[in-house]
Structures are given as structure tokens and as C-alpha cells.
């Protein structure tokens, strides 16, 4: 059984403080459209934005290559 490296409370605080839009915007330009932000996916080549960032959920998802996750997974 694997052990957790960081306490759950610490991770919860990290996720609540991290602004995924601000962090992703440091890597690629995002444009707001409704509740989501859109941009070109950094994980594959594309001409039409399919990379979505949802600030309420602190998640990203690419409808092209199916990459997705939270703010820590994006940085990794």
C-alpha cells in the first residue's frame, strides 16, 4: 500500500489557493468565453482552441487529445 507524501489538509489548501487560470496563462494565452477559458493545447499541435480551463473546478481539459487534470498535474 503506497504512502501519501503530503498530508491531505496541506494538499487541500494548495488546491484551494492555486489559481489555475493564472498558472496556465503563464504557459499559454487564454481567452474567456462564458465560464471557461480557452486556448491552444500545449500537449499537441492544433490550430483551433480545444484546451479548456474551468476555474470553479480548478481543472483543465483538452477536447482534442483528452488530456486533463488539476493545477498540479498541469505543472507536472
pLDDT in tens, 5-63: 888 899 889 888 999 999 999 999 999 999 999 999 999 999 999 999 999 999 999 99
| Fold of the domain spanning 8-75 | DNA Primase; Chain A (3.90.580)
Residues whose CB falls within 8 Å of the CB of residue 39, separated by 6 or more in sequence, listed in order: 24, 28, 29, 30, 31, 49, 51, 53
C-alpha–C-alpha distance, residues 40 and 52, integer Å: 9
Q: How many H-runs (helices) and E-runs (strands) does the chain carry?
A: 3, 5
Q: Categorize the per-residue pLDDT at 3 as very low, low, confident or very high, splitting at 50, 70 and 90.
A: low
pTM of this prediction? Answer: 0.85
Give domain limits for the chain: 8-75
Q: Categorize the per-residue pLDDT at 2 as very low, low, confident or very high, splitting at 50, 70 and 90.
A: low
Q: Is 27 left (phi over 0), alpha (psi -120 to 50) or beta?
A: alpha
Largest pairwise CA distance in the chain: 44
Amino acid at each position: 500500500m503506497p504512502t501519501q507524501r503530503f498530508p491531505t489538509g496541506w494538499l487541500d489548501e494548495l488546491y484551494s489557493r492555486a489559481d489555475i487560470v493564472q498558472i496556465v496563462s503563464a504557459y499559454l494565452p487564454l481567452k474567456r468565453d462564458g465560464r471557461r477559458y480557452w486556448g491552444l493545447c500545449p500537449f499537441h499541435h492544433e490550430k483551433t482552441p480545444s484546451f479548456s480551463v474551468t476555474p470553479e473546478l480548478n481543472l483543465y481539459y483538452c477536447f482534442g487529445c483528452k488530456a486533463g487534470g488539476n493545477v498540479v498535474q498541469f505543472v507536472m
